[in-house]
Structure 1
Amino acid sequence: MTNPQTATGEDVVDVLTADHREVEMLFVELESRQGTPEHRRQLADVVIAELVRHSIAEEAYVYPTARKALPDGDQVADHEISEHADAERTMKELESVDPSDPRFDQLLSHLTSTIRHHIQDEESDLFPRLRAAVAREEMVELAGKVQAAKKSAPTRPHPAAPDRPPANKLLAPGAGLVDRLRDALSGRPTSMEKLREKQR
Structure 2
Amino acid sequence: MGHGGNVIAELTADHREVEEMFAQIEAQPVGHPERRHLADLLTSELVRHSVAEEMHLYPSVRSHVAGGDELADKELADHGRIERMLKDLEERDAEDPEFNDIVAKLKFEVASHVREEEAELFPKLTAACSPEELEALGRLVRRAKETAPTRPHPSMPDTPPANKLLAPGAGLVDRVRDLLSGRGSSS
Tell me which interval the TM-score lies in, with the shorter structure as reference length: over 0.9
- The percentage of aligned residue pairs carrying the same residue is 49
Match of 2:173 among 171, 178, 184: 178
Per-residue deviation at 1:38? 1.9
CA RMSD, Structure 1 to Structure 2 (Å): 1.3
Given residue 34 of structure 1, which amino acid in structure 2 is its aligned partner?
A: P
Count of residues in Structure 1 that have an aligned counterpart in Structure 2 = 185
Per-residue deviation at 1:137? 0.3
Per-residue deviation at 1:36? 6.6
8 A Cα contact 2:30 2:94, kept in partner: no
Deviations 1:140-164 (A, max 9, x none): 0011100000000000000000000
Separation in 1, partners of 2:31, 2:93:
12
Mind listing any 5+ residue stretches in structure 1 that lack a counterpart? Answer: none
Query: Post-superposition, which runs of at least 4 consecutive aligned residues in structure 1 deviate over 4 A?
Result: none
Given residue 133 of structure 1, which amino acid in structure 2 is its aligned partner?
A: A
Separation in 1, partners of 2:173, 2:27:
32
8 A Cα contact 2:30 2:95, kept in partner: no
Separation in 1, partners of 2:32, 2:91:
13
Per-residue deviation at 1:29? 1.5
Separation in 2, partners of 1:75, 1:153:
25
Separation in 2, partners of 1:37, 1:177:
30
Residue 16 of structure 1 corresponds to which residue in structure 2?
Answer: 11
Match of 1:152 among 126, 142, 147: 147
Q: Does 1:111 align with 2:109?
A: no
Match of 1:73 among 41, 65, 68: 68
TM-score, length-normalised on structure 1? 0.90
Mind listing any 5+ residue stretches in structure 2 that lack a counterpart? Answer: none
Secondary structure in 2 matching 1:131: helix
